[in-house]
């Protein structure tokens, strides 16, 4: 459980003898991490204790390309001319296996890829692979608090903090760094974006010596450390009478803070900022805009190569939902699009994948790619806040791939989100993908062992978005459990169907929410923290859904480029799965499937529950193939899921039967 996908199960290999001597050609901190990982892996997989050298005659040689000399021919060296410093080459030639690249980080990624190949039973003497990440920034955001809690954490408490202090024993942080590096993650922020109390002082010498220790651990695995900050820190920490980003004293205060941080952490990544959202302080207090606020921080960080990651999750959380001019879905675009070109080059806007909040189904945010002169990264959520909270199984890779493959048409056909966030459409200096982490201090890290697949898959997808959901699932299963064909097939089927199953028994046709306020788990059809002005779904006796059209609704559809704008705006062309996000329709409106909306609601919720029953049956066939500890953990989580699915089925169907007065055409009983 603890080792996640770095189990390094024993393998049969005719190349076993190659691993007895490994040459690592430098002694950097990352090289030390490579050596440590190889020692663990080789001993577990081959029952061989490797010897290490710096000899170019070893069977396996690992070194930066300039260190390998004539071992790398001119043609291979030429391949490195136009690729990133994180790219690696694995090549077998002249009875030697070479792992090389232009940096130590490249070697680290190459070694982890090599070990993955071995775990899958591939012949390493057939390898001739040059691989590079598509996204330059591949980041995780921890929402951990100093008291040890984790906001939206479903896997126990923080591995970083406990009882108001940074943990003394950081061995688990080191293991976490190993897991992240193995799938190519290269950046992390280690505290909650909602910086409320004592965490404000993380940017002072009160905590920086210990945070330096954490940064040192991550650096050895190629991961750059960031900190989330409180925009009002000048007031909270030193009693300034303002945090106005244009005030000279405030500007100097931040410059002093950055200088102190970089004294402890010379390669400090920068700040993650949530401002002017959900009661967090920001530049709006001083009649300034987001460019003013972020640029002030960017100026302080620029001399040290630091960046500002400014979250675009900004909306009026106490808005009157009856007022069509305050549609939350519009908020990010309305706030940020007019500021394009006003942000400094080391500011990056972090935009949630959808316009709302990590729902099981929502359209792609129209802000992604809409700003041609401003760095952007997309934000996913590995933590399943609205998708089962790691009690219910919901493999999210298919959802993220659907988002990345979405065609925005911003520069004509083929302008996908995947290429936008990779920096291939606009001349972004910085771009990539970030996500909210799903780990905690549970023995298996993620509460539900199967939720490990989302963390693994996130890393693999950010490195190579062209990998299929099935390929990623199979990789994870084989490294985590076994390569047994039956296990791979059954678990793969469970994972790949789980997003659709979860959607079936929860919120239908893109309407979203309907969850218990604050906890966000379990059904509450009219529940939403800020819904005092009315329900989110706008259901009445005649129909359901939110009118976001240009003619009669909030006008949200106008934020998309054509033809997406017309597709969503037109009732006839709007995809069924997003119908209620964009339109308010009668219950008897006929979907493209031929069913009415109300019958679709009834059918999918009965089906979703039945599908969870099938998940339980599938898992029970695995009892003799999975160790008792992990088998029991997953069986217990599925028991929670079946209760949750039943509750969703009964509450949703009963609610809408009573609201509409339209019976189920199949005559099933509502509770």
Q: Which residues are catalytic?
A: 278, 357, 385
Residue 213 makes CB contacts below 8 A (sequence gap 6+) with 170
Residue with tokens 């929410």: 513
- 139 three-class SS: strand
How distant, in Å, are the alpha carbons of 256, 398, 447 from that of 637? Answer: 49, 21, 9
Phi/psi for 485 (5° steps) reads -60, -40
Q: Is the peptide bond before 563 cis (omega within 30 degrees of 0)?
A: yes
Q: Label the pairing between strands 270-273 and 88-93.
A: unpaired
Helix (H) or strand (E) holding 92: strand 88-93
Tokens standing for residue 638: 């599925």
Q: Return the closest-CA partner of residue 146 out of 227, 73, 69.
A: 227
- 607 three-class SS: helix
Transcribe 608-621 into DSSP letters: HHHHHHHHHHHHHT
Helix (H) or strand (E) holding 212: helix 208-219
Phi/psi for 51 (5° steps) reads -100, 145
Residues 151, 158: Cα–Cα separation, whole Å = 10
Residues 552, 109: Cα–Cα separation, whole Å = 52
Helix (H) or strand (E) holding 434: strand 431-436
How distant, in Å, are the alpha carbons of 350, 378, 439, 545, 557 from that of 548? Answer: 24, 23, 36, 9, 6
With vertex at residue 445, the alpha carbon angle to CA 442 and CA 448, rounded to the nearest 5 degrees, is: 85
Transcribe 327-375 into DSSP letters: -GGGHHHHHHGGGTT-S-TTEEEEEESSSSSS-SS-PPPTTTTT-TTSE
Tokens standing for residue 209: 């010596």
Residue with tokens 């990651």: 309
Residues 221, 184: Cα–Cα separation, whole Å = 10
Residue with tokens 């102190």: 260
Residues 362, 383: Cα–Cα separation, whole Å = 17
Residues 470, 492: Cα–Cα separation, whole Å = 7
Tokens standing for residue 233: 């820190």
Helix (H) or strand (E) holding 634: helix 628-660
Q: Return the closest-CA partner of residue 408 out of 374, 364, 376, 372.
A: 364
Q: Return the closest-CA partner of residue 668 out of 615, 608, 599.
A: 599
């Amino acid at each position: 459980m603890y080792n996640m996908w770095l189990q390094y199960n024993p393998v049969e290999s005719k190349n076993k003898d190659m691993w007895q001597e490994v040459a690592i050609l430098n002694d950097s901190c990352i090289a030390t991490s490579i050596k440590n990982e190889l020692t663990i892996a080789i001993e577990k997989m081959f029952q061989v204790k490797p010897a290490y050298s710096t000899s170019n005659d070893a069977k396996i040689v690992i070194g930066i390309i300039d260190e390998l000399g004539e071992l790398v021919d001119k043609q291979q060296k030429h391949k490195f001319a136009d690729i990133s410093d994180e790219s690696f080459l694995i090549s077998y030639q002249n009875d030697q296996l070479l792992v090389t690249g232009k940096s130590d980080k490249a070697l680290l990624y190459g070694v982890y890829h090599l070990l993955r190949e071995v775990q899958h039973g591939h012949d390493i003497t057939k390898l001739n692979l040059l691989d590079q990440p598509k996204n330059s920034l591949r980041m995780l955001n921890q929402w951990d608090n100093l008291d040890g809690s984790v906001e939206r954490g479903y896997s126990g408490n923080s591995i970083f903090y406990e009882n108001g202090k940074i943990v003394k024993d950081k061995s688990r942080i080191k293991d976490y760094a190993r897991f992240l590096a193995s799938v190519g993650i290269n950046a992390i922020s280690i505290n909650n974006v909602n910086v409320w109390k004592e965490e404000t002082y993380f940017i002072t010498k009160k905590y920086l010596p210990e945070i330096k220790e954490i940064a040192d651990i991550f650096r050895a695995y190629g991961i750059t450390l960031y900190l989330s900050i409180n925009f009002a820190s000048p007031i909270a920490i030193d009693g300034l009478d303002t945090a106005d980003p244009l005030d000279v004293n405030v500007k100097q205060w931040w410059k002093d803070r950055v200088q102190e941080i970089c004294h402890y952490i010379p390669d400090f990544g920068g700040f993650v900022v949530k401002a002017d959202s959900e009661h967090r302080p920001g530049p709006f207090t001083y009649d300034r805009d987001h460019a003013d606020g972020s640029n002030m921080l960017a100026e302080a960080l620029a001399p040290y190569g630091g960046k500002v990651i400014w979250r675009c999750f900004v909306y009026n959380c106490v808005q009157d939902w009856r007022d069509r001019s305050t549609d939350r879905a519009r908020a990010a675009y309305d706030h940020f699009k007019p500021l394009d070109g006003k942000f400094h080059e080391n500011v990056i806007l972090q935009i949630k994948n959808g316009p709302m909040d990590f729902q099981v189904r929502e359209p792609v945010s129209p802000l992604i790619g809409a700003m041609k002169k401003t760095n952007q990264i997309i934000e996913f959520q590995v933590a399943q806040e609205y998708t089962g909270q790691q009690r219910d199984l919901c493999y999210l890779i298919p959802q993220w791939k659907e988002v990345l493959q979405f065609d925005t048409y911003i520069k004509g056909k083929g302008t996908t989100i995947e290429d936008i966030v990779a920096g291939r459409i606009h001349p972004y200096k910085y771009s990539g993908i970030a996500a909210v982490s799903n780990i905690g201090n549970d023995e298996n890290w993620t509460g539900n062992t199967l939720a490990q697949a989302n963390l693994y898959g996130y890393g693999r997808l950010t490195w190579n978005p062209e990998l299929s959901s099935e390929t990623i699932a199979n990789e994870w299963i084989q490294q985590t459990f076994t390569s047994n064909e039956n296990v791979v097939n059954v678990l793969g089927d469970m994972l790949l169907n789980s997003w659709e199953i979860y959607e079936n028994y929860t919120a239908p046709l893109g309407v979203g929410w309907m969850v218990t306020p604050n906890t966000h788990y379990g059904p509450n059809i009219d529940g939403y923290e800020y819904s005092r002005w009315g329900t989110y779904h706008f259901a009445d006796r005649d129909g359901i859904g939110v009118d976001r059209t240009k003619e009669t609704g909030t006008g949200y559809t106008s934020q998309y480029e054509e033809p997406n704008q017309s597709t969503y705006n037109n009732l006839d062309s709007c995809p069924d799965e997003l119908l209620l996000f964009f339109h308010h329709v009668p219950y008897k409106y006929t979907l493209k499937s031929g069913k009415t909306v109300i019958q679709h609601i009834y059918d999918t919720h009965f089906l979703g529950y039945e599908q969870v029953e099938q998940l339980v049956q599938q898992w029970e066939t695995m009892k003799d193939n999975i160790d008792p500890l992990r088998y029991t953990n997953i069986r217990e989580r599925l028991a929670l899921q079946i209760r949750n699915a039943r509750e969703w089925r009964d509450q949703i169907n009963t609610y809408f039967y009573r609201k509409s007065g339209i019976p189920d055409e199949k005559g099933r009983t509502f509770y």
